[in-house]
Structure 1
Amino acid sequence: MTTIASTAYSRDLGDELRRLRETSTSFTGRAMAAHLGWDPSKVSNIEHGKVRATEVDLVQWVATCGKNLEYLEEFRDRYQHAFDAYCVQLPDNLRTLAMTEAMAHTITSYEVMVLPGLLQTPEYARALLREGGIEAPEDVDAFVEARVGRQSVLQRVYRPECLFYVHELALQTLVGDTRVMKEQYLRLLFRTHTLRIVPSKVRSSVPQSKLTLYEFDKARPVVFSETDMAQVFAQDDLAVKRARRMFERLDAVALDPEQSRSKLAEYVSGLREDFHGRPTDLAQEQLQHGQRLR
C-alpha cells in the first residue's frame, strides 16, 4: 500500500470499493479490516482513494466480496490509472464527475457554446442531447435525469461556492425552441449572483473550450475539460496554474453580476410575447418561475 496524493479518479474508485464491501458483505469497515488482518485506517484510506492498494490488496478485497477473476482483472485495469495526474474517460461515465462536484468546496467553470450543466433546465438538457445526436434516443431521458440529479449539490446547506462564466454565444445558440430558451433564461436570472457573461465581442482573447476548476478542503485542485469524445481530469500543477490564469483573464473581460443580469433580461425581453401574441410581464414571469423552482 503506497501513500500518494489522491485524485478525482482514485476517490471514485475507492468509493466503488466501499460500495462493493457494503453490497457484497455484511462487514463494516472495521470488520473488513479485522477479516483481512489489516489496520482499520488502511481500509478507510483505500475507500477514500488516499492510498494506492497493492495488487495483493485488491485480490483479497475482491475475493472477500465474492467476485471472480474476471471482475478483478476489469477493476485492476481501471485501478492502475487511478492516481495518474491526467485521467481520460468516456463522456457517458458520470460517476467521477458527479463525485468531484459533490466533494468540491469551490467550482469555477467556463462554457462557450452551451449553458453549464449545473444550471440547465430539464427541457434544455433534453433538447441539447436530442439535437446533438450522439446519445441513443432511448438513453436521453436517463442522461437528463442524471444531469438534473447532479444539480442537487447546489441545494445543499453546505453547497460549494460556484462561479459560472458563460460566453454570450451560449445565450445566442437556440436549443429546442423559444419556449425552452425562455424557461432557461429565467432559470439563469435567479443565478446571476454566481453567473458572469462574457460579451460576444470578446472571442480570441478568452479560452476557446469549456473548462472547470474544482477546489477541495483536503485534496489538490482538479481541472476538468470535455469534448463530445472524452472527459479529461487533470491534477498536474501546470494544468492548475494554467486554468487559474485563464479564469483571471475571464474575470477581467466578463460582465459583473449586475451587468450580467441586465444582459440576461435583454434576452428574456426578446421572448416576452407569449405564444398567443400577447405581451407578458417579466416580473410576473420571474415570480412564477421562482415558485416553480422551490
Structure 2
Amino acid sequence: MTKRGGSAVTANRSPGVHRRRLAAAIRRLRAESGLTAGEVAKRMGWSAGPRLTRMERNEWKFPKRDEIARLLDIYDVPDEQREHLLSLAEESRGRSDWHQYADLFPGSLPDLEAEATRIRSYEALAIPGLLQTPSYSKAIFESGGIVPAEDTQRKVESRMARRSVLDAPSGPQLICVIDEAALRRVVGSAEVMAEQLRFLQGMAAHYKVTLLVVPFDAGAHTAMDGAFSLIDFPSPEPGIVSISTGVESLYVEDEAYVDRHTLIFDAVHNLALAPRQSLDYIGSIAAEYDK
C-alpha cells in the first residue's frame, strides 16, 4: 500500500479491469459454444443480440450476477470456472482504489497495470511514467501550460503512486526499452535530468524491472513512429496495446493489432544495448548533466 496526500492506494482491487476480464471470458465462452449472439439472447429471453454484444464488448456499468449465472448455464461452464467468473462479477461491482484520481486519467491505466502480469514499454521521447521522479514528472506537466496549475501536484502524486504496483507480490514485470532521445531531452533542468537518470539506474536493480537503451547509432527502427506499451494479463485473457497522448489513451485488444506491436517491440528490443551496457550508457549521460 502506498499513501499519497492522506489517501491510500493499493494495487489489488480493480473493478474496471475485473469487468474487462469478465467480458473477455463470456465472449470467449460464446465463441467456444458455437452459438450466435442472437441464439443466446433468445435463450436468455432477451429481444435481440445487441445486449449480449454490449456485454462482450465491456460496454456495461455493473454486471448482474444472475445474468452471468444464466449465461454460464447456457455455456455449460464447469463448477470451478463458474465460481471464478461469478467472483469476477461480484468484484467488478465495486469502486477502484484509484477513484480519487479518476478525473486525471484519460483511461483505466492504473487498474490495467495492477492486473497485469507483464508490461513491455517502448518510449521514444520521455522517461516511462512508472519510472519518473517527482521533479521530472512535475516539469512535464508544467510544460506548455496545458495542465491547470491546481492539477499538477495531484498528477505528480498519482504518477508516483502508480509505481507501488511494482512492489506488489503479484505485480507485473516491467521491461522498458528507452530511446536515447528520451535520455538527452532536457526536461526541467540539467539537475532534474541528472537526478532522473540516477534514479533510473537505481530502479534497474529492482527485481521486476529491466531497462534497455536504444542508442542513436542503432539507426532507424520500426518503433520510431511513437511510444506504446504492451500489457499482458493472466492466461487466457487477451493482452492489450496502450497508446497515450496528452489528451487521451487508446487501449486496443484486437489480436492482430497486439501481434503487430509485439513484432515492433521485439525488433526494437533486439536493437537495444544489453542491460549492463544500458546502465553504463545511462550513467555516462547522467555524468554529462552533472558537469
Q: What TM-score, normalized to structure 2? A: 0.65
- Deviation per residue, 1:168-198 (Å, 9 max, x gap): 0000110111111111011111133610001
**Partner of 1:194: helix, strand, or coil?**
strand
1:241 maps to 259
CA distance in 1, matches of 2:219, 2:148: 33
Aligned length: 216
Q: Aligned to 1:197, which of 209, 213, 224?
A: 213
Residues 1:210 and 2:227 aligned together: yes
Counting only pairs closer than 5 Å after superposition, residues 1-294 of structure 1 correspond to structure 2 as: 3-5=26-28, 10=58, 17=62, 44-47=87-90, 92-93=104-105, 96-192=108-204, 194-207=210-223, 208-218=225-235, 219-273=237-291
Cα distance change, pair 33–221 in 1 and its aligned pair in 2 (3 A): closer
**Partner of 2:171: helix, strand, or coil?**
coil
Cα drift, residue 139 of structure 1: 0.7
Structure 1 ranges of 4+ moved more than 2 A: 38-49, 90-95, 201-204
**Partner of 1:4: helix, strand, or coil?**
helix
CA distance in 1, matches of 2:193, 2:233: 33
Q: Is the 8 A contact 1:107 1:161 kept in 2?
A: yes
Q: Is the 8 A contact 2:122 2:228 kept in 1?
A: yes
The root-mean-square deviation of aligned C-alpha atoms, in Å, is: 3.3
- Deviation per residue, 1:259-292 (Å, 9 max, x gap): 101111111211334xxxxxxxxxxxxxxxxxxx
Code of the residue aligned with 1:213 in structure 2: it is L
Q: Is the 8 A contact 1:105 1:161 kept in 2?
A: yes
Code of the residue aligned with 2:216 in structure 1: it is S
**Partner of 1:271: helix, strand, or coil?**
helix
Q: Is the 8 A contact 1:199 1:254 kept in 2?
A: yes
Structure 1 unaligned blocks of 5 or more: 19-31, 50-60, 62-89, 274-294
Q: Is the 8 A contact 1:166 1:195 kept in 2?
A: yes
Structure 2 unaligned blocks of 5 or more: 1-21, 29-53, 71-81, 94-101
Cα drift, residue 91 of structure 1: 9.6
Cα drift, residue 236 of structure 1: 0.3
Cα drift, residue 229 of structure 1: 3.0
Q: Is the 8 A contact 1:91 1:230 kept in 2?
A: no
Sequence identity percentage: 27
Code of the residue aligned with 2:161 in structure 1: it is G
1:27 maps to none
